[in-house]
A and B are shown apart, each in its own frame.
Chain A
């Protein structure tokens, strides 16, 4: 691992000022230090976010606000999160290991890098790590990789479970720039498709810092569910995951949001499923017919075509569980 300095800023101003001058933020460090040990990331100046007042979890009648430095384990166990936004708690508890969840943060989780093995091994070419070097994944080991949102330059899947849960809750992200200005964007606009610039993964501007995630309260959110399908029962990334939030009072679907993980180059909303359900009666047939539409436009690689079938089944199971 390359040597680096670690600055402990005495406030948000100092932190984002240092970020604007090229320093890299470190939150829980569970992904960044893995990458640094493998020389995939080579930061020379780190900015420690731990001293900053960004750990609060605030609940009101209308919303949930998660400080960017709130720990995954604390958010997962928060009684209001469990009761009113269960998909968040379920997605977090399906993530990583207990030790990593005690370290990893909400902001860091959203910005974790892909698990594509070519990205994480500097012995290989990778357009995301070295722009223009090529993508061996397209003809190589791609069983775990994306089938939606891919480009000829990159098929890396996005690894966050939390992000999939948060986009069905239509969460937004509070950002702070080095000049002190703040803005709020929908989480759905944070991650970018790879296109021909797979190394540009988010819409964050240079030095911009995630300070919080805001989640509106909703009836659908209270009836939400996260299903994760993986190669072993725990401590593994998703082959396919499905997040559902649904309000189907009196047997009619009033509000429905569905998204998937493990299949997209970014957290993937499934409007084709939502449109087939919205305003329709909630019956086993409408659920099955809607789930069968999941994954339109998929472009599987050589080893991951099974994800198309698995996605449809995972979406159906998640819909059934959320409405049971």
Chain B
């Protein structure tokens, strides 16, 4: 019970497949409740019309409705960072962001980092430095790392570790994650 939000990460994704190599599933037909609202999100540069309830998290809207399941659900309580995305250039946890409050803002997910099939330098650095094992936390780690470098917090390994503390890796790939961020920051 105590500390469960930190240690009891329920790493069971909503779908049985945790990898993203398969085509995105067709968005589920939304069940229209009394409170449902029609919104348009700006995700990775494109408008994304959705019907959501006010309580729908940005995370669930992305994964369950938009089929953008690169963003991962770990704890669903803001403790693990697996669901990190950028909203107007700032890294946030999408599990504690209401989708309706994200209207009118520029949302970037892991799917929006690569340009024309070329990996973002931070993605390439994670590959080069082997910055992951199971890969479940990796999209959140990379989104957080991209923001960290833009914030100017990659000055030392200690600073990187401190400013990556919102992203947990239960495989313990931390040394390689720090190395990847250090490399990507130096390249930039």
On A, residues with C-beta under 8 Å from B are 1-6, 29-30, 33-34, 36-38, 46, 48, 50, 73, 96-100, 102-103, 117, 121, 123-124, 141, 144, 233-235
Known A3-B33, A102-B92: A29·B97 in contact at CB below 8 Å? yes
Bound complex: CA of A120 vs CA of B148, how far in Å? 31
How far in angstroms is the closest Cβ of chain B from A230? 11
Q: Are B96 and A29 in contact (CB under 8 A)?
A: yes
Min CB gap A37→B, angstroms: 7
CA distance A144 to B5 in the complex (A): 15
Residues of A within 8 A of B28 (CB): none
Give the contacting residue for A103; candidates B2, B55, B96; CB below 8 A: B96
A100 vs B84: C-alpha distance in the bound complex, in angstroms?
Answer: 10
Q: Given A4-B54, A4-B55, answer yes or no on A99-B84 (Cβ-Cβ < 8 Å).
A: yes
Of the candidates A1, A37, A96, A99, the one having the most CB atoms from chain B within 10 angstroms of its own CB is A99
Task: Kindly list chain A residues whose C-beta atoms are within 8 Å of the C-beta of B96.
Answer: 29-30, 33-34, 100, 103
CA distance in complex: A6, B100 (Å): 9
Contact of A234 with B77 in the complex, beta carbons under 8 Å = no
A99 touches B92 (CB 8 A): yes
Tell me whether B166 and A100 are in contact (CB under 8 A).
yes
- Find chain A residues with CB under 8 A from B81 CB: 97, 99
Once the chains bind, are B93 and A100 in contact (CB under 8 Å)? yes
B2 touches A141 (CB 8 A): yes
Q: Which residues of B contact A46 (CB under 8 A)?
A: 54
Pick the most buried of A6, A34, A102: most chain B CB atoms within 10 A of its CB.
A102
Residues of B within 8 A of A123 (CB): 1
Q: Which residues of chain B are near A73, meaning CB under 8 Å? A: 90
10 closest residue pairs by CB, A with B: A97-B166, A117-B2, A234-B165, A6-B54, A235-B165, A102-B90, A99-B166, A99-B93, A141-B2, A33-B96
B35 at the A/B interface (Cβ < 8 Å)? Answer: yes
In the bound complex, how far is the Cα of B140 from the Cα of A223, in angstroms? 38
Contact B53 A3 (CB under 8 A): yes
Alpha-carbon gap, A5 to B36, bound state (A): 9
Asked if A99 and B1 sit within 8 Å, CB to CB, the answer is no
**How far does the alpha carbon of A234 sit from the alpha carbon of B151 in the complex, in Å?**
18
Distance between Cα atoms of A124 and B4 in the complex (Å): 14
A98 to B98, CA, bound (A): 18
Q: How far, in whole Å, are A34 and B96 apart by their CA atoms in the complex?
A: 7
A233→B159 CA distance, assembly (Å): 12
Q: Name the contact of A37 in the complex, choosing from B2, B33, B77, B165 (C-beta under 8 A).
A: B77
The answer to whether B165 and A50 touch across the interface, beta carbons within 8 angstroms, is no
Chain A positions within 8 Å of B174 at CB level: none
Query: Does B65 interact with chain A (Cβ within 8 Å)?
Result: no
Q: Is the CB of A30 within 8 A of B166?
A: no
Contacts of B163 in A (CB 8 A): 98
Known: A3-B53, A97-B81, A117-B2. A102 touches B98 (CB 8 A): no
